[in-house]
Structure 1
């Protein structure tokens, strides 16, 4: 009888460990922002594809191991990446310091010569491809044939592609935050104020919304947002039963 119990316990532990990569640890992290809100920050582990969201105090929990890459994104905070090292797995709480975003004007016209730009002044060549930070990293990784092969085999190329997708969602979240106020989500879409950020993350994961958003047709964008708000509110209602 005792041997059967021992075998059962060993089997149980093997099942638990099977779904977890060797060396992984449940990290307790805390996001600190000098002037800003650390709540609702999206954390994604680009290696094991686990994700988490910080609570009202900036605390979060996520599975990770040494050499995993964590990406932190928020509408109000600067994009941040953290390569997990062995030392990061030792403390009880991993401190992550993030910086609040500064509001920048898209364009400032100082005179009627609005066509004056870097290309017109000869600073940048005409037809140059403008890449984001993540796209530049992927381009650099594949710029040399040997390096491209090594990065492909090591999985770094795939990781960089995931970074680009996360970056695109972060930029879309920022645009949504700039175009629509909290009052719009509460009064028009009837999304509870405490769920606004969650709804924003919900819609950027929708392929239907991202496709319509690219069209820049405000009426169609808001129609889709209304439909998604109905779906999201139904999810909230089901979860509160």
Structure 2
């Protein structure tokens, strides 16, 4: 009984510190998309808050921020990219950031190179995924689950698991309908192929088609045909907005 009060006090203190530190900030869920180059290890800096995170091997990241904060994406693989966060971005899940491959040969100084794992986990891999293992570890035991519940790690890992599974669906989608096919058959610009794949796998019929083994590619292509038309309309609308902003 004597140990209970100090433990509860520590838990309460941890909760208060975490709540104070996060006051006014929201977690922005982002995803780097590119048809060229590894999306892992891109440094995303919130220059307005002085904090940074690094993207995972699928290009996902979460960073605390507010509307009007400026994000800067730094990587030797991609050109420098800057983005100003909008209020609407916090309702998007995830926010897609298309990065352009650095083909000039110029690299940033003081790049730290780390050894990459020899095995990259994909939707074809056997056994629990990396995020599934982390979530199992974070929710095992007695004290650890409580601490992870308070500091938000459990919620973050559950969200990451959803992202991971969505990423697996995109990988599978592009295995059966590669970017070249999307370009020639559906007129999707090559640079937007991965973005369209993310757009398509949100559709319930596409999800169901990808679960069936083997995947019926003819049926899948029939499903995505109207989705491709809608996606091209969205691209054209964005292009018109950018053009209007430049002329104003």
Give the TM-score taking structure 2 as reference length. 0.50
Separation (CA, whole Å) in 1 of partners of 2:66 and 2:203: 18
- Matched residue, 1:222: 221
1:133-152: CA deviation from partner (whole Å, max 9, x where unpaired): 10011111112132212211
Unaligned runs of 5+ in 1: 1-18, 25-35, 65-70, 75-91, 108-128
Separation (CA, whole Å) in 2 of partners of 1:206 and 1:53: 29
Paired positions, count: 166
Is the CA contact 2:170–2:201 (under 8 Å) kept in the aligned structure 1? yes
Q: Say if 2:56 is the partner of 1:59.
A: no
Separation (CA, whole Å) in 2 of partners of 1:172 and 1:52: 28
Q: Say if 2:61 is the partner of 1:44.
A: yes
1:65-118: CA deviation from partner (whole Å, max 9, x where unpaired): xxxxxx9x99xxxxxxxxxxxxxxxxx9996868699899x99xxxxxxxxxxx
Cα 1:237/1:61, change in 2 over 3 Å: closer
Cα 1:100/1:93, change in 2 over 3 Å: same
Identify which of 130, 140, 144 aligns with 1:143.
140
Give the TM-score taking structure 1 as reference length. 0.51
1:240 to partner: Cα distance? 2.6
Matched residue SS, 1:158: helix
- Matched residue, 1:153: 150
Separation (CA, whole Å) in 2 of partners of 1:48 and 1:153: 20
Matched residue SS, 2:127: coil
Kindly report the root-mean-square deviation, in angstroms, between the aligned alpha carbons of the 2 structures: 4.8
Cα 1:39/1:45, change in 2 over 3 Å: closer
Unaligned runs of 5+ in 2: 1-22, 28-35, 41-57, 86-93, 98-107, 241-248
Separation (CA, whole Å) in 2 of partners of 1:94 and 1:60: 18
Separation (CA, whole Å) in 1 of partners of 2:196 and 2:210: 16
Matched residue SS, 1:240: helix
- Matched residue, 2:231: 232
Q: Greater Rg, structure 1 or structure 2?
A: 1
Within-5 A mapping of 1:92-171: 130-171=127-168
Is the CA contact 1:53–1:60 (under 8 Å) kept in the aligned structure 2? yes
Q: Say if 2:171 is the partner of 1:174.
A: yes
